[in-house]
Amino acid sequence: MNALKNKVQLIGNLGQDPEIVNLENGSKLAKFSIATSENYKNAQGEKVEDTQWHNIVAWGKTAEIVENYLVKGKQVAVEGKLVHRSYETKEGEKRYITEVRCNELLMLGK
């Protein structure tokens, strides 16, 4: 049951080409976002599409796969864990971000 404590599974489409960062130790970091959409009918019976954007980060071999195969619009399935962190901008503002740290990646579609 421990494996289910912080587990995220998403299927969505990349909103832009991934950002790849080559780290000093030789490993890679890939950052990208995917959109997930749901359709439902509101109280008036109108069809509504709700799109959510999710920030994804991948490290090491997974980041290399992202770099070589993923582009804007590509549909992917992502599995990982939810991570909350904060950072400071150049202007000294504190910002908070929620990301999915990707453990597994499956390319879908053509």
Tens-place pLDDT, residues 65-101: 999 999 999 999 999 999 999 999 999 999 999 999 9
Mean pLDDT, to the nearest integer, of 5-26?
A: 94
* 74, two tokens: 């590509």
Cα 78 to Cα 56: distance, rounded to the nearest angstrom: 9
Cα 109 to Cα 38: distance, rounded to the nearest angstrom: 18
- The most confident of 21-25, 29-33, 44-48, 85-89, by mean pLDDT: 29-33
Give the pLDDT score at 1.
65
Give the pLDDT score at 5.
87
What pTM was estimated for this model as a whole?
0.85
Q: How far is CA 38 from the centre of its chain?
A: 17
Domains of the chain: 2-39+46-107 (2.40.50.140)
